[in-house]
Structure 1
Amino acid sequence: MGSEDGAPKDGSGPGFAVRRLGPGDIPSMRALNALFGRAFAEPDTYGAAPPDDAYLADRLAKAHVAVLVAERDGAVLGGLVAYELDKFERARREIYLYDLAVEAEHRRRGIATALIRHLQAHAAHRGAWVVFVQADPGDGPALALYDRLGTREEVLHFDLPVGARPLP
């Protein structure tokens, strides 16, 4: 049985429940950002200049942004952020799983898998044809998880600066 966003109604696992955040879930979003800062060892990126509540509520209200959390007793144990990308070559969309993390003390309990399964159900409901994610070559646990759940493609990732720069 699915929920209104297409994800399984029972998005739970042993000792936790998975749900999609909405515009009224600012405290949970802030907790997830703090978790990302710890998990990725980037506390400044995720906490030094936090956006205001209105900004977060606006982003959480967007249909093309999916923020999922695994919680127990109101505490965020893990979560993910994904973005829909509408394509031009065909009338379809892809979903980019941008951030995924689980608190260190709650890892290896099926939380990341449950979050991804919930995202896959959401993607199907939204008419997406694929969910894709990037992982760093040295991140063994992430690579093992994604190898188990999908098909690996070897690609290179480039960060391009923003703004006009003179050509060489």
Structure 2
Amino acid sequence: MLGLFSEAFDDPESYLNHQPSDAYLTRLLASDTFIAVAAFAAGQVVGGLTGYVLPKFEQERSEFYIYDLAVAADVRRQGIATELISTIKRIAKQRGIYVIFAQADDGDDSAVALYTKLGTREDVMHYDILPEHQST
């Protein structure tokens, strides 16, 4: 899935150059706060979705944030992304998650169209705040 994300987002630095250890991935996949689903064709990963369960403070409930979602270029427009989200919807229902949310960048027309078809748009601003030890 990391290779798929690297290609889809044109970002090998983030997805390939510093891959986590097997021990790290085992812990991550075993946690209650991370979910990954993949779509396969002919033994190859052709779609992937990763995200995070966010337990809430104000009520006993959680949200799910779709962090990465990609489909291989040669199999796009075949419903794979919609099926990945449908899988997450089923998992969310089983876990009592009350909402699933995602963000799309301006100009990412495919993502905007997908999320518009499946949900309600909210216009928000996004800010990156670096920890004290990092600088821009």
TM-score (structure 1 length as normaliser): 0.77
Tell me by how many angstroms 1:149 deviates.
0.2
% of aligned pairs identical?
A: 47
Greater RCO structure (CA 8 Å; 6+ sep): 1
Residues 26-59 of structure 1 deviation map (CA, whole Å, 9 limit, x = unaligned): xxxxxx0111011111111101111111111111
Q: What corresponds to 2:3 in structure 1?
A: 34
- Which ranges in structure 1 are unaligned for 5 or more consecutive residues? 1-31
Q: Distance in 2 between matches of 1:52 and 1:164?
A: 24
Q: Distance in 1 between matches of 2:68 and 2:125?
A: 18
Runs (4+) off by over 6 Å: none
Match of 1:155 among 113, 117, 124: 124
Q: What corresponds to 1:141 in structure 2?
A: 110
Q: What corresponds to 2:37 in structure 1?
A: 68
Q: How does 1:70-89 map to 2 (within 5 A)?
A: 70-89=39-58
Q: What corresponds to 1:44 in structure 2?
A: 13
Q: Distance in 2 between matches of 1:142 and 1:158?
A: 20
Q: Distance in 2 between matches of 1:61 and 1:75?
A: 23
Tell me by how many angstroms 1:138 deviates.
0.8
2:84 maps to a residue whose letter is L
Greater C-alpha radius of gyration: 1
Residues 32-90 of structure 1 deviation map (CA, whole Å, 9 limit, x = unaligned): 01110111111111011111111111111112211000012321001000110000111
Question: How well do the aligned residues superpose, as a CA RMSD in angstroms?
Answer: 1.1
Tell me by how many angstroms 1:137 deviates.
1.2
Q: Distance in 2 between matches of 1:145 and 1:34?
A: 22
- Which ranges in structure 2 are unaligned for 5 or more consecutive residues? none
